[in-house]
Amino acid sequence: MYRLRALSAAQGVARHGFFFDFTSSILANGLVRCYLSGMELLEKLETQVAALLARLDRLRAENERVSAESAALGEEKAALEDENHRLREALENEEQLRAQALKRIDAVLRNIQEHDSVE
């Protein structure tokens, strides 16, 4: 009996590199299941990492697109602000000219009234 166990143990060492033959052990079956579930977890992890990396690439591309749009809108805004400034200055100049013209018209009307009142 002892010789049979020794032979079986020697075969286990030769086959698996272990002194104990794990092929019929409950512990070995549990370890195999843990190994497989660990491999499944690693596979899921790899899949999720690949999905996250793909999402990161999409987000980076989206960020570049939005940044380019933002820069273009910033340039357009600056151009509109410059035009708005020029238009305000032109309006202010027109209002000043109008006020000066009204003063001159009033002065002419006073001269006419004074001339009519003298006669």
Q: Percent of the chain having pLDDT more than 70?
A: 69
Task: Specify the long-range contacts of residues 66-69, CB closer than 8 Å, at least 24 apart.
Answer: none
Alpha helices in the chain (DSSP H): 2-16, 26-118
Spatial contact of 28 and 22, defined as CB atoms under 8 Å apart: yes
* Total domain count, the chain: 1
pLDDT digits (tens, 9 = 90+) for 34-75: 666 777 888 889 999 999 999 999 999 999 999 999 999 999
Spatial contact of 9 and 19, defined as CB atoms under 8 Å apart: yes
Number of H helices, E strands in the chain: 2, 0
Residue 2 pLDDT exceeds 50: no
Domain coverage including residue 52: 2-118
Residue 21 pLDDT exceeds 80: no
For residue 1, the SS3 value is coil
